[in-house]
Amino acid sequence: MHYMYQQLATEDLGQPLSQITFVIVDLETTGGSPASAGITEIGAVKVRGGEVLGEFATLINPQVDIPPFIAALTGITNALVAQSPTLRGVMPSLLEFIGDAVVVAHNAPFDIGFLTHACRAQGIAWPKPAVVDTARLARVTLSRDEVTNCKLGTLATFFHSPTTPTHRALDDARATVDVLHGLIERVANLGVVTIEDLQAFTSRVSPQQREKRHLATGLPNSPGVYIFRDSQGAALYVGTSKNINTRVRSYFTASETRRRMSEMVSIATEVTPIVCASVLEARIRELRLITSEQPRYNIRSKKPAKQSWITFTDEAVPRLTTTRTPQTDEMPAFGPFAGRALTKEAIETLAWVFNLRTCTTKFRKIPILNDKATHGCARFDFGRCAAPCLGSYNEHDVIVERATQAMRGDFREITLAITEHLQELSAQARYEDAALWRDRLTMLTQSSVRSHRLANLFEINELIAAQANSSGGWEIHIIRNGRLAGAGIAEPGVDPLPIIEALVATADHSTQDVLTEETLAISNWLDQPGVRLVRTTSPLSMPTHCGGHLVEQLTTARKAAHFAVMQVDASGPSMRPVGPGRRAVTRIQV
């Protein structure tokens, strides 16, 4: 299906250059490297629509000697700046002057490099404004027949600037203003009318990317999904954004550096937008479209997300194994885990906690006592297996039942076993091992919480939740058995209840398999601040002891500068630092 949209005005396609506030900056320094040189003068001019809004100029004491040749070139001497403020006193005022404007400089990497280094040295966050380099813009705009080089003095003369560059900051900034305006007039004839166009024009984008900018024309400025298609209508790439128009336009600029995306853009002939009521709906639609259309430039379509759970095998003496099916009443499971390595790590940890067997031996339904056997395997020798291979399954059956209860929601035995082990490792000053076991506990705890939250969502026939949006309205979602069945918006000042009832009446009743990633996305959205539960057919809940109360503590411990060990006492779990001077080592990413 193709969507037709009315041609938008120029203003809807980006920010017109006439409405952009530019701050043109020039620096004088004692040398060429920010690491060893200092800034001696800053000049800046703020303009918009060709009108000067303000100027900023100050000498600066660089707190290093000014070399004689620099003094001769600029006229700035040690004596001249002796009573001037230092950069520490100037930077806050300069950043306030810049505000949210686009920064312009001639040979911008030089000036921006000094400014970012100055911010970093003072512990100030560089705001990372959009930057336009007039030197680079001149190189791609003017031919050698017009100018012999792109030095500021040459360009100022070419564009008849009334200000002659003098190697003084404010004069050079004023001259750069005239050069910028002259260049903007030139590129306007090439269709460059917005700041996005200007950035794309000066970027290192391929001709194929630049030629395909028209594909973004008319796309809506709304949240949703976009599909790049080839000449046959086949999906090449599926993406999602809070603003479809802005995101698609970025594929034709220097901000897009992925090689496969450049190749994809060169093949694409159209972009299909799907406007969504919310970011969550857009995310869900993206997941479903990638699964159904298998676009060749989406990595996930080539390597689908491999979600797996841990469960028990159905045999006389069960052992832990992996499955792609979430837990059911008959077969409890931990998960999901993303990838084979994490799944293996979790199986090893659970086997260690409960002394489960890990061998692949096939056992008869009725045990046969082996009178000649004197011991089981090495795990039995170390006290890590009940050795059902010796002829008795009873002890191992009890162990499996304990592990099953943990998987069903009673996480306390796992917590106690691992925290006691952490304390032992700490007492032995084995801090590296302690960190690894802390990470294992974090992984299992988070997996337990995820598992029970997903199981709960799968069981709820209908759940309605809403979240206030930035405009003062409500984003409403209908969720059925872990699947997004409907989404809509109640505009500000409008009673949302009739809209909710209309959504419920028209919501999808599909019973097709639910993507685990979809339910995970819904679960994460429900946890966001400001989400309100409207109604649900059954409680949104999890087992009391499934580990939810530990997640925040364990996550904090992983981020702490020192190792932390769980202490369990009558008042509940708590954290204490161990190994002063030792820094935490995190191996598992969850």
Contacts of 36 (CB under 8 A, 6+ apart): none
Whole-angstrom distance, CA of residue 394 vs CA of residue 410: 22
- Any bridge partners for residue 29, and if so which? 39
Query: What residue ranges in 5-61 does DSSP mark as E strands?
Result: 21-29, 39-48, 51-59
CA distance 503 to 501: 5
3-state secondary structure 324-388: CCCCCCCCCCEEEEECHHHHHHHHHHHHHHHCCCCCCCCCCCCCCCCCCCCCCCHHHHCCCCCCH
- b/e 192-206 (16+ beta carbons within 10 angstroms → b): bbbbbbbbbbbbebe
Task: List the catalytic residues.
Answer: 167
For residues 193, 197, 201 and 205, what is the CA-based torsion angle, rounded to 10 degrees? -160
The strand pairing partners of 41, in sequence order, are: 28, 59
| Residue with tokens 């820094």, as numbered in its chain | 583
Q: Indicate the SS3 state at residue 29.
A: strand
Tell me how far CA of residue 22 lies from CA of 16, 46, 453, in angstroms.
Answer: 12, 6, 50
Closest by Cα among 493, 462, 496, 503 to 480: 462
| Residue 428: CA count within 13 A, CB half-sphere | 10
Other CB atoms within a 10 A radius of the CB of residue 532 amount to 11
Residue among 332, 551, 544, 540 nearest 456 (CA)? 540
Residue with tokens 């194994």: 321
Give me 360's structure tokens: 């692949």
DSSP-assigned letters across all residues of 245-264: HHHHHHTTSTT---HHHHHH
Q: In angstroms, what CA-CA distances link 63 with 69, 75, 466? A: 17, 17, 57
